[in-house]
Each structure stands twice: as C-alpha cells, then as structure tokens.
Amino acid sequence: MAKRSAYLHVGLDDRSGDILEPALQRHAHALSALGVHAPAASTDEMFRAAIEILRSHRTWGYRRKEVEGAWAGICRRGQRGTGTLVFSQPLLAEATTDQIELLLDGLRGFKRHVVITVAAPDTWTPGDLDLGPLLDRWITAVGRPDRVHVIVSPPVRRPATTWKAFGKVVGFGTASLSLDGVEVSTVARPPRLVSTERHAALRDLGRRWAGQIVSRDVDVRGDLADLVPAVAPAPDPVSLIAPTDEALAEALRAVERLERRNRTLETRVGELEQPRRRWGRSA
C-alpha cells in the first residue's frame, strides 16, 4: 500500500502564510471530499500543539496540562483516516532540531513534506534572520530537499496567491475554495522609521535568502526576486505616528487580555482544588 502524504506548513513570522490555517479550517469539509484532511479540530488546537512542541506554553499564558498531548491527539486523528493530511502553524518554523524530530515523529509512516512561506524582509524582520540553517533543519528532518516547498509571497500581499500555491503543492485546486469570510486575526505592523542603511541591509538580506533557497535545491513556488524589498521612498515621520500609536494600543490591549485570562485560569484552578483539599481532610 502506498504511503499517505502529510504536508506541514510552518511559515515564517512575516504574515506571509497566516491565511493558510484559517482557510484549511474554513474549507475542511470541502477538502475532505477531495481526499485532503486537516485533522486539527480548530486553529486553537493547532496553536496549543505548536506551543507544546516548542515548550513555550508559559510564554503564552498556558499551563502545561492545557497543551500536553495536543499534537499526539491531532496525529492520532489523522492516522485513523485516509488520504492526505495538511497542517498549518507558522510558529513552528524556527523549531530546533530536537523539536522538529518530536513533531515529525507523530507522522511516522507518512511521506512528510514541509511548506515554508516567506516574504521579502521588512522593517520588522530581525537583521540576523538566516534562512539557510532553517532550511537545513527541515531538509534533514524530512530527508529530501524536494519535500521542502518554499512559497514566495509577492510584494503586495495577496492571500489568494499564497492559498493557490499551497493548493498546487498539496494537490488540490482552490478555484471553488474562496477566501471570502476567512479571517486572520493579527495585530497590525505599521511601517517603521529606519535609516537608509537599514533598508539597504534588508535588500542584501533578501538577496542572501534567495541564494540560500537556490543552493538547497528545494521546490520553489513564486518569484525569488520578490524577496528583495523595493527601494523605500523617503519616510514621512508624521504619517508613521498614527498607525504606530494604534498598533501599540492594540498590543497593550492584547497583553491585558492575556493577563486577565491568566488570572481567570488561576482562580478557576483554585476553585477546583478547594473541594479536593476539603475531601482530603475529611477522608
């Protein structure tokens, strides 16, 4: 019997592939009819699986028991079915070698593919973000460079283009799988005021990324030239103030929501433990 295939989208922290996970959830039933299955029950479940693998649950305000077994549960669900499996969680892109091994261990017996979405570096991109070692980790993990697929996002972000490219990699068409109603919840990243030298460095970084991708002989979808940012016009500091202030306000609100969630969970845990302590004293 031929092996089933599993495609894991890990993205990068550049918003280039954020549309894929909610699109997979939105069209789960239609994809299933095509023999393509997204075994994660929700984007939240896949998120918990990712922070379980990365051991970053505390950073995100979760307790270990809230994430433990999330990835194993998703994999068991996928193992029971037939056809191709698809997963998406951009947080996993920079997983360590050991974390990748643990992640892919749940997909033993499958032809394992990794899809990495990437866009040209921008003013939010760390200057030392190197694609070479990242690609090497995933190539080593799946065993073959042709099972690592890089989707290059065009300069003007077009989610439908990324969605279509992902479908071609996996083997399904997206013409009838519209992105209408598919929402991506993210905090806005406004343009940042940086020096001319910083913009030049970003262009050099984009060229280096393109070279690193070519040298690894991976499957590429899109134009590698799009990884080199356009020459930036002279910035207008005044126009940057409003979006920056709005983004900061939204980030602070997100932090407040996370703090409230932590307090609620701690209170709930305390309430659950009280009857247990009373029962222990009366026993």
DSSP per-residue string spanning 28-95: HHHHHHTTEE---SSHHHHHHHHHHHHT-TTTTT--HHHHTTHHHHHHHHHHHS-SEEEEE-GGGGG-
**149, 169 in Cβ contact below 8 A?**
yes
What gap in Å lies between CA 268 and CA 5, rounded to an integer? Answer: 41
Query: What angle is formed at CA 271 by the lines to CA 270 and CA 276, rounded to 5 degrees?
Result: 90
Structure tokens that stand for 29 in this block: 């039933």
In the chain, the amino acid numbered 244 is T
Helix axes 131-142, 97-105, angle to 10 degrees: 30
pLDDT at 156: 81
What gap in Å lies between CA 227 and CA 121, rounded to an integer? Answer: 7
- The pLDDT tens digits for 127-170 are 788 899 999 999 999 999 999 999 999 988 789 999 999 999 99
DSSP assignment, residue 17? T
Whether pLDDT at 177 is above 60: yes
CA distance readout (Å), 206 to 90, 124, 148, 229, 275: 20, 13, 19, 7, 58
- The pLDDT tens digits for 6-30 are 999 998 888 899 999 999 999 999 9
- The pLDDT tens digits for 239-282 are 666 666 677 777 777 777 677 667 666 666 666 666 655 555 55
This prediction's pTM: 0.83
**55, 49 in Cβ contact below 8 A?**
no
